[in-house]
A and B are shown apart, each in its own frame.
Chain A
Amino acid sequence: MTKKQKKVLIRIIVSAVLILIIRRLNIADPVLEFVLFMIPYLVIGYDILKRAFKGIIKKQVFDENFLMAVATVGAICLGDYSEGVAVMLFYQIGELFQSVAIGKSRKSISELMDIRPDYANIEDEDGNLIKVDPDEVETGSVILVSPGEKIPIDGIITEGETTLDTSALTGESIPRKAEAGDEVISGCISLSGLIRIRTTREFSESTVSKILELVENASSRKSRSENFISKFARVYTPAVCYGALTLAVIPPVILLIAGRQPLWGSWVMRALTFLVISCPCALVISIPLTFFAGIGGAGKAGVLVKGSNYLEALSKAKYVVFDKTGTMTEGVFRVNDVVTADGAPFSGEEMLKAAAYAECYSSHPISKSLKDAYGKEIAAERVSDVEEISGHGVTALVSGRKVAVGNDKLMEKLSLTVPKEEVIGTTVYVAIDGKYAGFIVISDRIKKSAKKAIADLKKIGIKKTVMLTGDIKQVADSTAMELGIDEVYSELLPSDKVSKVEELLSSINGKEKLVFVGDGINDAPVLTRADIGIAMGALGSDAAIEAADVVLMDDDPEKIAKAIRISKKCMRIVYENIYFAIGVKAICLVLGAFGAAGMWAAIFADVGVMVIAVLNAIRALSVKNM
């Protein structure tokens, strides 16, 4: 608690104790009772009264302080001393609670995003480490990061190896290996070894600064619910106040005309009850707080939402359009299958080894994928007589055996017949010692979680999933089939993707939203065009972060459904709060008008509702098991 809050707490305790004592005393003398009750009243309410007075001077009559002052002073004038004082007391308790709760959630959300590095280590001429402000490090300098420290600035490792904890950025708990030559992004924590990094950006341009800026500004883009509630508050308070005035005057006058007792006191009391209910803070606070907590919670799960409005839109997503390469697939060519010919005298492993050896001097992506799949050190001295036949493949002598690796044309040239394989991807044939040995399939692999990601989307009520790709029809169709995607459009140019998305947008009704998910490479225009653009694995790509509305910090497609679930939870809380707060206030207004709800009920409608709404809002922070 801050000093200010502690002071209020002390005032609350003192006045509460005083009220209890005075009530116990059962004072018969009304003047003495009044004087005694004035002590706790002033202790708890002096600042409200002061502000109300200032408000009157500045003609701000719908100010909450003014409303509370009028309501309580009115109650006291009518002789309800303890009620007047108690209402002021509860009002202050509510305000205190609100300010503590908001301070807490502000803090917990900023801790959540506690990725700001405080310093960078650089070496001076004598090799001593000095700590400097990351802002002062120039691009191209070498910084040192010890185990347990945050990487302050984006760069490339020049020396050393380590494992990186990226959980603060991606929500992913498994550490990642990094060694010399690898690009690293700021905000990760180096866990195991000392590394030297040559920075490639300035601090202000680094990932960590970008993310912080984005999160801090997110709640400035207000959602429609927030705008609704602030407009509502602007109308609500004056409306209820005029209602109070009407209630205080009209019924007694009518009663008077009808020749009955006007009961001024009772009607004025009801009017004062209205004033207490008219305070709008419970309504106004809970909605932005929910969004703030929701955005913070999403950030913790590795989903950066750039504004409350996008979180709101995301909850209405009904159509999800994907890019294929890099989004649903890994975007890297890899060996997918190794098949030896019938009766071949060696295992797939041996054939792969032979192929990798034969290709060891080549820099073709396919050779690289073969070498990656083999995975072991290649003893290049065992390879001789390498001959690359352009457009065909490679032949070489590997440990004295003749190995040929290439396409069907190469096999034809060696007058070998090969079975025609119906596979998705590129087929590489291998012949050893002049005999056909088998084939290796190289393709872009579908991400492990892609299938589950699509199933999850279906589960949460997405009507249609669509895949757009520049890839050939055969590959696209089989990928879509395997993943269970409803519609697929292949062989598209980047500009075709935009028009396809526009076509889809025009076919859906306005309340349903279309999400486009891409990896941020070449699809910035589509990201902008869709209702919500989600860029995945976009860390370090400025263009994608710029164009997207939601950024997934790693490239796991399951996060798409997770992001939508988070947004739905957040919106559910928002609506709960709106209906609850407005509902309770409306009920209390009606009951108050008929005299069935007194000031106690009114103060509950104000403070109690706010406390519950704030507690409910904070639930949006929790995104575990979602």
Chain B
Amino acid sequence: MKKTYKIEVDCANCANKMEEAAKNTEGVKDAVVNFMALKMTVEFVEGADPKEVMKKVLDNCRIVEDECEIYL
């Protein structure tokens, strides 16, 4: 399952870091951050609960980039 979220982030490299962080989150199969469109597309592992996973994704993103936001 794929879902797209609006995000808020200031710099392109931070967006790349968020993408890495999201990819490495448990329950996420793949993630793409589109800095120009300020969107994050997350593909979830089969059977994962997107809501739970996205909470973890946001936590992980906050570690690499303190001032980022994902609108869940």
A positions within 8 Å CB-CB of B: 51, 54-55, 58, 60, 63-64, 95, 98-99, 102, 105-106, 216-217, 219-220, 222, 230, 233-234, 280-281, 284-285, 288-289, 291-292
**A51 and B66 within 8 A (CB):** yes
- Is B36 within 8 A of A219, CB to CB? yes
- Chain B residues contacting A54 (CB-CB under 8 Å) are 66
Chain B residues within an 8 Å CB radius of A289: 12, 36
Contacts of B19 in A (CB 8 A): 230
Whether A288 contacts B12 in the complex (CB less than 8 A), given A58-B63, A220-B39, comes out as yes
Please, how many angstroms separate the alpha-carbon atoms of A217 and B67 in the complex?
Answer: 24
In Å, the complex CA distance between A51 and B19 comes to: 20
Shortest CB-to-CB span from B7 to chain A, Å, is: 12
Contacts of B34 in A (CB 8 A): 217, 219-220
State A289–B67 Cα separation when bound (angstroms).
21
The 5 closest A-B pairs by CB, nearest first: A285-B12, A292-B36, A284-B12, A284-B13, A220-B34
* CB of B26, distance to nearest CB on chain A (Å): 19
Q: Looking at the complex, which one of B13, B38, B39, B63 makes contact with A64 (CB distance below 8 Å)?
A: B13
Which of chain A's residues have a CB closer than 8 A to the CB of B67? 51
What CA separation (Å) do A493 and B43 show in the bound complex? 39
A489 → B minimal CB distance (Å)? 39
Known interface pairs A51-B66, A60-B63, A220-B39; A281-B32 also in contact (CB < 8 Å):
no
* Chain B residues with a Cβ closer than 8 Å to the other chain, count: 19
B16 within 8 A of A: yes
Is A219's CB under 8 angstroms from B13's CB?
no
Q: In the complex, what's the smallest C-beta–C-beta distance from B52 to chain A, in angstroms?
A: 22
Q: Report whether A222 and B32 are in contact in the complex, using a CB–CB cutoff of 8 Å.
A: yes
B-side binding surface: helix, strand, loop or mixed?
mixed
Contact of B36 with A106 in the complex, beta carbons under 8 Å: yes
> B15-59 interface mask toward A, CB cutoff 8 Å, 1 = contact, 0 = none?
010011000000000001011111101000000000000000000
In the complex, what distance in Å separates the CA atom of A290 from the CA atom of B36? 10
**Docked CA distance A64–B37 (Å):** 22
Known: A54-B66, A230-B16, A233-B16. A64 touches B36 (CB 8 A): no
Docked complex Cα distance between A492 and B55 (Å):
55
What is the minimal beta-carbon distance from A623 to any residue of chain B, in angstroms?
17
Tell me whether A95 and B11 are in contact (CB under 8 A). Answer: yes
**Other-chain residue from A60, A98, A216 in contact with B11 (beta carbon distance below 8 A):** A98
Q: A51-B67, A58-B63 are in contact. Are A281 and B13 (CB under 8 A)?
A: yes
A-B contact pairs, 17 of them (CB 8 A): A55-B66, A95-B10, A98-B11, A99-B10, A106-B36, A217-B34, A219-B36, A220-B39, A230-B16, A234-B16, A280-B13, A281-B11, A284-B12, A284-B13, A285-B11, A285-B12, A285-B35
- Chain A residues with CB under 8 A of B20: 234
**Minimum C-beta distance from B53 to chain A (A):** 19
Please give me the residue from chain A that is nearest to B40 by CB atom.
A220
A64-B15 Cα distance, complex, nearest whole Å:
13
B64 within 8 A of A: yes
Asked whether A60 and B64 contact (CB < 8 A) given A95-B11, A284-B12, A284-B13, the answer is: yes
- Least CB distance from B66 to A in Å reads 5
* Most chain B CB atoms below 10 A, which of A105, A217, A291: A217
B38's nearest neighbour on chain A, judged by CB, is: A106
From the candidates B12, B36, B37, B41, name the one contacting A281 in the complex (CB within 8 A): B12
Tell whether, in the assembled complex, residue A220 and residue B41 are in contact, meaning their CB atoms are under 8 Å apart: yes
CB distance from B35 to the nearest CB of A (A): 6
Most buried by A among B10, B34, B38, B64: B34
Q: Report the minimum CB–CB distance from A340 to chain B (whole Å).
A: 62
Task: Give CA–CA (A284, B17) in the complex, Å.
Answer: 11
Closest to B10 in A: A99
Contacts of B13 in A (CB 8 A): 64, 233, 280-281, 284-285
Residue of A nearest to B35 (CB): A288
What is the CB-to-nearest-CB distance from B61 to chain A, in angstroms, rounded to a whole number? 11
Q: Once the chains are docked, how many angstroms separate the CA of A217 from the CA of B32?
A: 11
A58 contacts across to B, CB distance below 8 A: 63-64, 66
Given contacts A98-B11, A217-B37, A234-B20, 12 further A-B contacts (CB under 8 A): A60-B63, A64-B13, A106-B36, A219-B34, A219-B36, A220-B32, A234-B16, A281-B12, A284-B16, A289-B36, A291-B36, A292-B37
Do residues A64 and B66 form an inter-chain contact, with CB atoms below 8 A? Answer: no
Q: How far is the CB of B25 from chain A (nearest CB, A)?
A: 16
Closest to A216 in B: B37
Across the interface, which residues of B come within 8 angstroms of A95, CB to CB? 10-11
What is the bound-complex CA distance between A98 and B36, given in angstroms? 12
Across the interface, name the chain B residue whose C-beta is closest to A283. B13
B10 contact set on A, CB distance < 8 A = 95, 99
Residues of B close to A216: CB separation below 8 A: 37, 39
Can you name the residue of chain A whose Cβ is closest to the Cβ of B41?
A220
